């Protein structure tokens, strides 16, 4: 599965609370490039997918999404994203 589809599928499968938490953690992420709150507030999983891809490119989007998922303790979702996207080194963050 390509990386864009893997990110989209992962976001679509998050519960509403986890999706909201994902978006909140994404805007509070300290590393550059940062995502502005107005790019995620009130947006659908499809729009958030596009924000991730346009900000980080496809490979970076998978890595950032996995990092944020681990931050919000959605470790299974992060591992599944890495597996389905085929991203190398994905989800391994110190």
Domains of the chain, residue spans:
3-85
Q: Mean pLDDT throughout 42-66?
A: 96
What does the pLDDT look like over 6-15, one tens digit per residue?
999 999 999 9
The pLDDT, as a whole number, for residue 87 is 77
Domain 3-85: homologous superfamily in CATH: Death Domain, Fas (1.10.533.10)
Reference 93, options 58, 76, 77, 69; nearest CA is 69
Q: What is the pLDDT of residues 80-94, one digit of tens each?
A: 999 999 877 675 543
Q: Residues 29-42: pLDDT tens digits?
A: 999 999 999 999 99
Q: What is the pLDDT of residue 36?
A: 96
């Amino acid at each position: 599965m390509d990386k864009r589809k893997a990110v989209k599928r992962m976001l679509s499968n998050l519960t509403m609370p986890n999706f909201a938490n994902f978006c909140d953690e994404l805007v509070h992420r300290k590393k550059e490039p940062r995502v502005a709150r107005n790019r995620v507030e009130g947006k659908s999983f499809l729009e958030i997918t596009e924000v991730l891809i346009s900000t980080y490119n496809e490979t970076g989007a998978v890595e950032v999404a996995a990092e944020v998922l681990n931050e919000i303790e959605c470790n299974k979702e992060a591992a599944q994203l890495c597996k389905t996207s085929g991203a190398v080194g994905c989800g391994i963050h110190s």
